[in-house]
Structure 1
Amino acid sequence: MARKEPVTVSDAIGVAERLWPTSGAEEWDAIGLLAGDRNAPVEHIHLAVDAVPETAEEAVELGAQLLLVHHPLLLRGVTSVSEDHFKGAVVSRLIRGGCALYAAHTNADAVDTGTSAVLAARLGLVDAIPFQGAGGVERADSGIGRVGRLATPTTLGALARTLADVLPPTASGIRVSGAFEQTIQTVALCAGAGDNYLDDPAVQAADVYVTSDLRHHPASAFRENAKLRGGPALIDVSHWASEWLWLDTAAAELRGALEGVTVTVSDLRTDPWDFTVVQ
């Protein structure tokens, strides 16, 4: 009987890039293998949204040989990986612990089981499609964002409550712009930072837009135009929380493709805010 070859980092990357094709990544992104030996064996993959010292330590302590994250650690250029900066500390800890680091970012946002698709499914959206597919002649199954409808209309306040129940808790909670009793059926959403899409036709045609990292001026302009023109409400949720939901789906896909490899998901909250003082 032939001896089964061990799964390697390269094998795991091959599976990841079939699940989340690199062609779907934005040009500015820094996806892929960030640290580690492609030929090293892999028996355990650990998933997290962010590569920070705590998730790196967790991966090593669990005995993982690959930490797969959503956010690329080296997205913005660095000139040093010394351990007096957190990025260097993360890379050094992983290398010393024999754990590679890989990132699937905007390529994992775009697929039909990606970050926005998972959030849409958790909210129960029907016929959810990416923004560029909304109103188009052909249905698009992959792309940024999702727009769909609730099977039963609800209120803005009730939808915000549902988001609070679906998402892991964070200090920033759920921030809402609009009337509590406003009727909501068509929902546009973008897991992670989504203020680039505030003017997208799919967003403007919805009853509400759910996203993260909304800055004052874009959010204020969106709110005031909505009041003037009868446009959508706005819900701002934690960036980390909106993408953390995807990890369970990603883990299940990896388990299905990598027989015998243990795949775990980090429960560590890497949202940057620790507490809120209510005024």
Structure 2
Amino acid sequence: MTATLGEVVAALEARFDPALAEDWDAVGLVCGDPAEPVGRVLVAVDPVAAVVDEAVETGAGLLVTHHPLFLTAVHGVPADDPKGRLVHRLVRAGCGLFVAHTNADRAADVGVNDALAAVLGLTGARPLQPAAPARGGPRPGGRARRADDAGRVRRARRRRPPRHDRRRPGGRRPGPAGAHGRRLRGSGGSLLPAAAAAGADVLLTSDLRHHPVSEAGEAPGPALCDVAHFASEWPWVPVVADVLTTDLSGRVEAVASRRRTDPWTVHRGAEGDRTAGSAG
């Protein structure tokens, strides 16, 4: 059994409303014919060459990614351009590309924030920002959730996707050792004031910048926990695969990509430089 690409897109947009996306974002169908049949869907974080190869090799009719392929104005997709080459490869293989980005961050129950909170075992979610019915207004960003103890924070290191080197720490945080977190979750350093207003003890996010972290340490507020960007978003991937298979009554087989596409592949450890290999 199969569904049309249009039916798959409709199912995805029912879960990840495009109206929840930021104005600057680029979400939705990037390429593909809505009338074409789709029997297999691959879900991943990044639309990069390794993932496109996986989609083509496994016969996927649609690749769903969290990160957009294009975020700035595009005036052409020549095959000698790295991103244009991916579009040509997908089109030649009859595989579409769909993006759910900031709308997936904010989606209720099956969004990126909720997926990460779920693997940490957190309960009582509520958005740090209010929802809005359409683009142009405040949207629900981040999640405030209750953690039973600091052990929930440590679970983030054990329940994220495989790292290149399992001895490499999965996160970093300033503050005293042994600090306990009562509330946890966030989406970006810009939500630090909202997290403080919500009474959060910990803001868990990615890509925090040096100066805001330094300044935050000089004032009362949540402790900050910075985890790898890719690792914080990967838990959403199998969630999408599961709900898409269910929502389309098994007419498509949706699977989670196991390709590790974190661009940070080298780190310095006790034994000197160590270059990462592929994920198992």
| TM-score, normalising length: structure 2 | 0.85
Query: Contact 1:131–1:202 at 8 Å: present in 2 too?
Result: no
**Aligned match of 1:78:** 74
Q: Does 1:66 align with 2:62?
A: yes
Q: Which residue of 2 aligns with 1:131?
A: 128
Within the candidate set 89, 105, 111, 2:107 is matched to: 111
State the one-letter code of the partner of 2:210: H
**Counterpart AA for 2:7:** D
Tell me if the contact between 1:43 and 1:260 (Cα under 8 Å) persists in the aligned partners: yes
* Unaligned residue ranges in structure 2 (runs of 5+): 131-138, 271-280
Which of 252, 266, 277 is 1:261 aligned to? 252
Alpha-carbon deviation of 1:172? Answer: 6.8
Q: What is the count of residue pairs matched by the alignment?
A: 256
**Structure 1 gap ranges (5+):** 134-141
Matched-pair contact (CA < 8 Å) for 1:172–1:275: no
Residue 208 of structure 1 and its aligned partner are, at CA, apart by: 0.8
- Aligned pair partner of 1:164 in 137, 157, 162: 157
Q: Show the counterpart of 1:176.
A: 173
Counterpart of 1:211 in structure 2 is 205
Q: Normalising by structure 1, what TM-score?
A: 0.86
Could you tell me how far 1:189 is from its partner in structure 2? Answer: 2.4
Cα distance, 1:40 vs. partner? 1.0
Partner of 1:136: none
Q: Which residue of 2 aligns with 1:186?
A: 183
1:10-49 equivalences in 2 (<5 Å): 10-49=6-45
Deviating more after overlay: 83-92 vs 101-110: 83-92
Q: Is the counterpart of residue 241 in structure 1 residue 231 in structure 2?
A: yes
1:203 offset after TM fit, Å?
A: 6.2
More helix by percentage:
1
Separation in 1, partners of 2:205, 2:160: 12
Contact 2:144 2:198 in 1 (8 A): no
CA RMSD for the aligned pairs? 1.9
- For 1:202 and 1:224, the matched residues in 2 are separated by 14
Is the aligned partner of 1:251 residue 2:258?
Answer: no
Shift in Å, 1:67: 0.4
Q: Give the match for residue 133 of structure 2.
A: none
Structure 1 stretches of 4+ moved >6 Å: none
Aligned to 1:91: 87
Pick from 143, 146, 151: which aligns with 1:149? Answer: 146
Aligned-pair identity (%): 41
Q: Contact between 1:198 and 1:204, CA under 8 Å: does it hold in 2?
A: no
Cα distance in 1 for residues equivalent to 2:28 and 2:227:
27
